[in-house]
């Protein structure tokens, strides 16, 4: 089973693809889609969609998980983030992938046992677990954390969601 994790953003979108081999999680590929903040949002969304499409075609995941965010700094930044997230969900669904959604605190709890992490902690833990052999970018690490969390069946353990992915309504 190959899982894609995504940490959405209108300037940087992290992505990470992992495969579960028994109890081991192996990193297949990961990176950050960088968008030019000086271009119009609609042009950035086109680039985001095209890049994600290429990643889906080259890595062939079976399922996807996207970081959610209920508590943005303010409505304006939530709206912006929503633009990227909406385009990502559209692209994933077009590829027929089941899409799960996780709060940042859920991801951190699944990975390090606590809902909050110090700056750089998640990155370093993932560099060790996934034996990346190089430093991960922050958004790349966040995306890999979502992928690992999902690959480890976090969605299946949710109360009220014993057997299914947590689709958003």
Do 114 and 5 touch, CB atoms closer than 8 A? no
Query: Does position 54 bind a copy of itself by CB under 8 A?
Result: no
Q: List the one residue from 72, 115, 153, 157 that touches a copy of itself (CB under 8 A).
A: 72
Q: Give the active site residues.
A: 7, 67, 139
Do 153 and 165 touch, CB atoms closer than 8 A? no
Query: Does position 79 bind a copy of itself by CB under 8 A?
Result: yes
Chain centroid, CA 122 distance in Å: 14
Query: Does position 69 bind a copy of itself by CB under 8 A?
Result: yes
Do 102 and 70 touch, CB atoms closer than 8 A? no
Residue 24 or 73: which CB sits closer to a copy of itself?
Answer: 73
Query: Does position 92 bind a copy of itself by CB under 8 A?
Result: yes
Residue 6 or 25: which CB sits closer to a copy of itself?
Answer: 6
Within 2-41, which residues bind a copy of itself (CB under 8 A)? 37-41
Q: Which range of residues in 52-60, 130-138, 139-147, 161-169 is near a copy of itself by CB under 8 A? A: 161-169
Q: What residues contact residue 16 under an 8 Å CB cut-off, 6+ apart?
A: 4, 5, 27, 29, 30, 31, 140, 143, 144, 145, 146, 147
| Interhelix angle 41-59/75-94, nearest 10 degrees | 40
Contact set with a copy of itself (CB under 8 A): 37-43, 45-46, 49, 69-87, 89-90, 92-94, 99, 167-169
């Amino acid at each position: 089973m190959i899982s894609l994790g995504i940490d959405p953003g209108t300037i940087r979108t992290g992505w990470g693809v992992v495969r579960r081999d028994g109890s081991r999680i192996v990193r297949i590929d990961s990176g950050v889609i960088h968008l030019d903040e000086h271009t119009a949002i609609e042009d950035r969304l086109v680039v985001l969609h095209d890049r994600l499409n290429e990643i889906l075609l080259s890595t062939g995941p079976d399922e996807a998980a996207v970081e959610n965010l209920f508590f943005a700094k303010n409505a304006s930044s939530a709206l912006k983030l929503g633009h990227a997230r909406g385009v990502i969900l559209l692209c994933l669904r077009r590829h027929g992938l089941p899409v799960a959604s996780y709060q940042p605190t859920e991801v951190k709890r699944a990975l390090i046992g606590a809902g909050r992490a110090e700056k750089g902690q998640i990155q370093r833990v993932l560099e060790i677990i996934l034996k990346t052999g190089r430093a991960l970018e922050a958004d790349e690490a966040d995306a890999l954390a979502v992928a690992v969390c999902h690959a480890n069946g976090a969605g299946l353990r949710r109360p009220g969601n014993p057997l299914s992915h947590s689709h958003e309504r």
